[in-house]
Amino acid sequence: MANTQLPDALLVQDYVAGNEDALASLIKRHESKIYGFIYSKISDRDTSNDIFQDTFIKVIRTLKSNSYNEEGKFLPWVMRISHNLIVDHYRKNKKMPMFRETEEFSIFSIMSDDSLTIENKIISEQVEMDLKKLIEELPIDQKEVLVMRMYQDMSFKEISETTGVSINTALGRMRYALMNLRKVIDKHQIVLTN
């Protein structure tokens, strides 16, 4: 069986057992998704390349030290590493960007399941568009906290540091954002399912 057909979990096991080609297959398989995610946040090729390389250096170290816990979630684990490195990059440079979703990248693209039918993909896209419209209707301070928390996966401590408000204020804004979204959804009898 070719490496491109083996599940990630088996390639990880092969790499830990000493097969360097298994890691090359994993990188090749996920390179475009991981690099695309990094570049969508950084928008600089050199820095994106550096973060991509640093991501796999951390992956290699973790795998070599046998501290990776295989739960069938290799890609989300690597994406989390790259996300943390992006956050570290912005912390070092003392600037945190506002999340800008593009046509090429969306939070749903990371979570996408190749087994989705065309109909389910269309429904997912419609739900995503409807949700974005609802979020745009929120007051700016609530929208900012909601986007940082849900789309950027920032902790409330990070949101507090980025926005310059207390953690309790950030929590309150998130709570009001969710309450306001629920009110609009109930008022218009919108169904957000996929």
pLDDT in single tens digits along all 194 residues of the chain: 555 588 888 999 899 899 999 999 999 999 988 898 888 888 889 999 999 999 999 999 998 888 887 776 888 888 888 988 988 888 887 655 544 555 445 555 544 444 456 766 677 777 778 778 888 888 888 988 888 888 778 888 888 887 888 999 999 999 999 898 888 877 767 666 54
Q: What is this structure's pTM?
A: 0.49
- Do residues 130 and 69 share a domain? no
- Provide the total of helices (H) and of strands (E) in the chain, helices listed first: 9, 0
- Do residues 150 and 82 share a domain? no
Cα dist from 149 to 76, 178, 180, whole Å: 17, 12, 16
- Do residues 74 and 130 share a domain? no
Based on the number of CB atoms within 10 Å of its own CB, is 41 exposed (0-12), middle (13-18) or buried (19 or more)?
A: buried
Name the 3-class secondary structure at 181.
helix
Note down the domain range covering 44.
1-97
- Do residues 131 and 55 share a domain? no
Instruction: Give the CATH number of the domain where residue 70 resides.
Output: 1.10.1740.10
Cα dist from 12 to 59, 105, 139, 148, 167, whole Å: 10, 26, 45, 32, 39
- Do residues 87 and 124 share a domain? no
Determine how many CB atoms are found less than 10 A away from the CB of residue 61.
11
Residue for token pair 């009898």: 189
The total number of structural domains in the chain stands at: 2
For residue 166, is it within any domain?
Answer: yes
Closest to 40 in 3D by CA, of 143, 169, 149, 151: 151
For residue 109, is it within any domain?
Answer: no
Cα dihedral: 84, 88, 90, 91 (round 10)? 130
Angstrom distance (rounded) from CA 123 to CA 117: 10
- Do residues 127 and 86 share a domain? no
